[in-house]
């Protein structure tokens, strides 16, 4: 009997030791199994995805409803507000009725250097309190306004490994190119302010209250024999009476020269290359709803020549790629 109880206690000791070794083995192993769940890359990819959703699928805040029946003339979209404090969120979507189409104006404001500080980008994009989530970001948009162009916003250079999201988008631009192939005295551009929204719908029309109208005249094709040409006047008239000239100054830039907003006075100007004309959003708010015709008058060339008549239409939607890196 004595021997039996002695044997049992040895069995128990060995069994317990084996169990403990096994238990320690399993506990050690579990730590290793959980390592995969601690990975930071998943988190950064999710933040990059969230940021891309804010940029591509959201029109930002404040925003305007393009299809409002009685729009409040004081409503402004965020890209028209100068003070960043009044902007809540930076979304690039043109309108929530048209998913996947970004606004060229919002892109211009968002990517222009100096418009926002890095802290403002973080507050209004990553939805974080200042300093709370110190994410770094690098956002680039390639393919707009032309295929080789890239816009970049970043706070520092990205490291080799970041959270990443790529989105393919369409962009609604506002710039209509006109090429001068032959000498002219007048280029008449009809701006169909009354009809173009209702006829075409938001995506293909223009909303002069919220969107600019841009016209590029490329004169360089005329060749060195005819250049420079003298631009003598730019003015606006109603469509039915070209002699009734509206008083407003017309915002013209010649050969890429920079100009401040109040220096639109026209005199005789030599044009070697391009004429760039941009009506800011709301420029035509005093014109009620009717069409206007924009006239470019040049010094009369040697006959024979024909005047060039055009109607403003927004350019086709541009294909572009937006990439977001977060780390």
Partner 1 sequence: MVGEEAQLYTIEGFAAAILIVVTAYLILNSTFILTPGDTHINDLQLEQLGNDVLRMMDTKNSFDSTAPNRYLQTQSYLEQWLSSNDPKLGFDPFVTQFQGYAGDSRLKLDAFMYYWDHGANRMGSYSLSPTIHSTSHEHYVTITKYVYLDNPGWDDPLGVSRTVLLEVQLWRD
Window of 30-38, 76-84, 178-186, 246-254 that interacts with partner 1 by CB under 8 A: 30-38
Q: Tell me how far, at minimum, the Cβ of 91 lies from partner 1, in Å.
A: 16
Q: Is 4 in the site for partner 1 (CB under 8 A)?
A: yes
Q: Is 184 in the site for partner 1 (CB under 8 A)?
A: no
Q: What's the rounded Cα separation, in Å, for the pair 52 and 45? A: 10
Q: 35 or 74, CB closer to partner 1?
A: 35
Who contacts 39 (Cβ-Cβ below 8 Å, separation ≥6)?
A: none
Q: How many CB atoms lie within 10 A of CB 157?
A: 7
Instruction: Kindly write out the interface string for residues 101-120 of this chain, putting x where it contacts partner 1 by CB under 8 A and - elsewhere.
Output: x-------------------
Q: What's the rounded Cα separation, in Å, for the pair 127 and 200? A: 36
Q: Is 177 in the site for partner 1 (CB under 8 A)?
A: no
Q: Is 14 in the site for partner 1 (CB under 8 A)?
A: yes
Q: What's the rounded Cα separation, in Å, for the pair 226 and 205? A: 36
Window of 113-121, 276-284, 298-306, 314-322 that interacts with partner 1 by CB under 8 A: 314-322
Q: 34 or 160, CB closer to partner 1?
A: 34
Q: What's the rounded Cα separation, in Å, for the pair 286 and 52? A: 38
The encoded tokens of residue 215 equal: 């016209």
Q: 63 or 172, CB closer to partner 1?
A: 172
| Footprint (CB under 8 A) of partner 1, residues 32-61 | 33-34, 36-37, 39, 41-42, 45-46, 49, 56
> What strand order describes the sheet that includes 163-172?
101-103, 163-172, 318-326, 137-142, 150-154
Instruction: Kindly write out the interface string for residues 201-220 of this chain, putting x where it contacts partner 1 by CB under 8 A and - elsewhere.
Output: x-xx----------------
286: phi then psi, degrees, rounded to nearest 5: -85, 0
Q: 13 or 285, CB closer to partner 1?
A: 13
231: phi then psi, degrees, rounded to nearest 5: -90, 115
Q: Is 313 in the site for partner 1 (CB under 8 A)?
A: yes
Q: Is 158 in the site for partner 1 (CB under 8 A)?
A: no
With tokens 């816009």, the residue in question is: 151
Who contacts 51 (Cβ-Cβ below 8 Å, separation ≥6)?
A: 125, 126, 137, 139, 165, 324, 326
**How many residues appear in the chain?**
327
Interacting residues toward partner 1 by CB under 8 A: 3-4, 7-8, 10-11, 14-15, 18-19, 21-22, 25-26, 29-30, 33-34, 36-37, 39, 41-42, 45-46, 49, 56, 98-101, 142-143, 164-170, 200-201, 203-204, 313, 315-317, 319, 321
């Amino acid at each position: 009997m004595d021997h039996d109880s002695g044997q049992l206690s040895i069995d128990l000791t060995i069994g317990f030791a084996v169990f403990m070794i096994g238990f320690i083995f399993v506990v050690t192993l579990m730590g290793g199994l959980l390592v995969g769940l601690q990975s930071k890359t998943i988190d950064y990819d999710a933040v990059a995805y969230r940021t891309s959703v804010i940029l591509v699928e959201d029109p930002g805040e404040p925003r305007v409803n393009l299809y409002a029946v009685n729009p409040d003339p004081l409503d402004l979209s965020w890209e028209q507000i100068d003070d960043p404090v009044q902007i809540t969120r930076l979304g690039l979507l043109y309108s929530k009725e048209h998913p996947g189409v970004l606004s060229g104006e919002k892109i211009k404001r968002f990517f222009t250097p100096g418009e926002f500080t890095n802290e403002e980008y973080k507050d209004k994009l990553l939805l974080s309190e200042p300093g709370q989530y110190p994410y770094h970001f690098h956002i680039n948009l390639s393919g707009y306004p032309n295929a080789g162009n890239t816009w970049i916003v970043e706070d520092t250079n990205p490291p080799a490994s970041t959270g990443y999201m790529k989105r393919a988008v369409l962009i609604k631009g506002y710039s209509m190119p006109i090429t001068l192939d032959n000498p002219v005295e007048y280029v008449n551009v009809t701006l169909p302010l009354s009809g173009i929204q209702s006829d075409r719908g938001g995506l293909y029309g223009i909303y002069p209250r919220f969107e600019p109208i841009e016209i590029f005249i490329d004169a360089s094709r005329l060749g060195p024999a005819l250049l420079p040409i003298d631009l003598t006047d730019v003015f606006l008239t109603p469509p039915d009476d070209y002699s009734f000239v509206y008083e407003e100054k017309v915002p013209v830039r010649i050969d890429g020269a920079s100009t401040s907003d109040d220096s639109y006075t026209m005199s005789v100007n030599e044009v070697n290359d391009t004429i760039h004309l941009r009506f800011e959003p709301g420029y035509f708010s005093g014109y009620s709803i009717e069409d206007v015709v924009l006239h470019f008058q040049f010094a009369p060339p040697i006959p024979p020549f024909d005047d060039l008549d055009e109607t403003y239409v927004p350019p086709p939607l541009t294909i572009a790629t937006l990439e977001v890196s977060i780390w």
